[in-house]
């Protein structure tokens, strides 16, 4: 599995990693995400202004009523899985490619096409 860039699991305002409580990733109507703590600080008079695109959004009930970002929550769950980490750790090791009998990788000979080529739309 590929590494998850730290930027995807950190709040763009405070640069802290999202979690399941105070730093819960909250989804704004403009599809940008920030943590619950920062959303609470930016919420004023029933409105919140997105720190990334500067759009103002009317939010009923305050920052706690913003929905969690399900994509970020899923990424955080993947990071909790054994062998998965963000940022500095190396990706999981994989086995090197093996030559197939006959000395060619994946059954293709040098100069041989791998398939029929790009699919093109037919014009009427």
Q: Which pLDDT tens digit goes with each residue over 11-67?
A: 999 999 999 889 999 999 999 999 999 999 999 999 999 999 999 999 998 999 999
Determine contact, residues 3/92, Cβ cutoff 8 Å. Answer: no
Backbone angles phi, psi at 36, to 5 degrees: -60, -40
Q: Where do the structural domains in the chain lie, given as residue ranges?
A: 6-87
CATH topology for 6-87 is Herpes Virus-1 (3.30.40)
Cα-Cα-Cα-Cα torsion 10, 12, 15, 20, nearest 10 degrees, comes to -40
Please write the tens of the pLDDT for every residue from 9-21. Answer: 999 999 999 998 8
Mean pLDDT of the chain: 78
Please write the tens of the pLDDT for every residue from 77-108. Answer: 988 876 655 554 444 444 455 555 555 444 44
């Amino acid at each position: 599995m590929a590494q998850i860039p730290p930027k995807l699991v950190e709040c763009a305002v405070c640069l802290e990693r999202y979690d399941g409580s105070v730093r819960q990733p909250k989804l704004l109507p403009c599809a940008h995400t920030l943590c619950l703590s920062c959303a609470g600080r930016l919420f004023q008079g029933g409105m919140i202004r997105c720190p990334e695109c500067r759009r103002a959004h009317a939010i009923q009930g305050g920052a706690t009523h913003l929905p969690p970002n399900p994509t970020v929550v899923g990424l955080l769950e993947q990071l909790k899985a054994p062998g998965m980490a963000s940022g500095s750790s190396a990706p999981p090791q994989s086995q090197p490619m093996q030559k197939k009998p006959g000395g060619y990788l994946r059954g293709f000979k040098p100069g041989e096409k791998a398939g029929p080529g790009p699919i093109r739309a037919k014009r009427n």
